[in-house]
A = this chain, B = another copy of it.
């Protein structure tokens, strides 16, 4: 029953071919006879998908809806992604009502100009399609701390490019250097950030 199952993956585009339903994380979709995930339906929650097994490689934020091919969940980047091999739920994603609560305690993070939490800083509790339009000093983030909730950081404005999923309850919520943003991250370039809601 599609309605009760958080995520359904298919090994062909447009929801064809082999299918499997998951209610929790999948460390390696190949163990279920898949070469890769080529389409999927997210029925509930917010998930993060990974290019490789064991949650390695490029990351993809997966919110409720339908993804008929790889381009639908990948980012717009030069290293065109054609596979997704592992995925897990994002436990600290907030509900939309809570994420706008009066004191914003549900989604909070701090970005720093330099690594190791040094330099100028900015407090974020909302969505920023352009950090520079919000007054951030340049097109990079050196380090960051997630105090509450979860966010996606992107290389380019308008939520494009590589995606770096940041959660308060993983990695101690602390990312001291851009190498910690994700195994696919090669520069500190981050130009848009938004909250993850479910």
Instruction: Using CB atoms and an 8 Å cutoff, list the residues of chain A in contact with chain B.
Output: 42, 61-67, 69, 71-78, 80, 96, 127, 129-134, 139, 152, 155-161, 191-192, 194, 197-198
A76 and B71 contact, CB distance less than 8 A: yes
Which residues of B are found within 8 Å of A158, using beta-carbon distances?
A: 61-63, 73, 152, 159
A53 → chain B, closest Cβ, in Å? 22
Q: Quickly give the copy total for this chain.
A: 2
Rounded to whole angstroms, the CA-CA distance of A130 and B43 in the bound complex is 11
Which residues of B are found within 8 Å of A131, using beta-carbon distances?
A: 65
| CB-contact partner of A129 in B66, B76, B77, B194, under 8 A | B194
B72 and A74 contact, CB distance less than 8 A: no
Rounded to whole angstroms, the CA-CA distance of A64 and B134 in the bound complex is 9
A129 → chain B, closest Cβ, in Å? 5
B76 and A133 contact, CB distance less than 8 A: no
A65 and B130 contact, CB distance less than 8 A: yes
Rounded to whole angstroms, the CA-CA distance of A102 and B111 in the bound complex is 28
B67 and A156 contact, CB distance less than 8 A: yes
Find the B residue at minimum CB distance from A61.
Answer: B158
Find the B residue at minimum CB distance from A45.
Answer: B133
B133 and A64 contact, CB distance less than 8 A: yes
A66 and B133 contact, CB distance less than 8 A: no
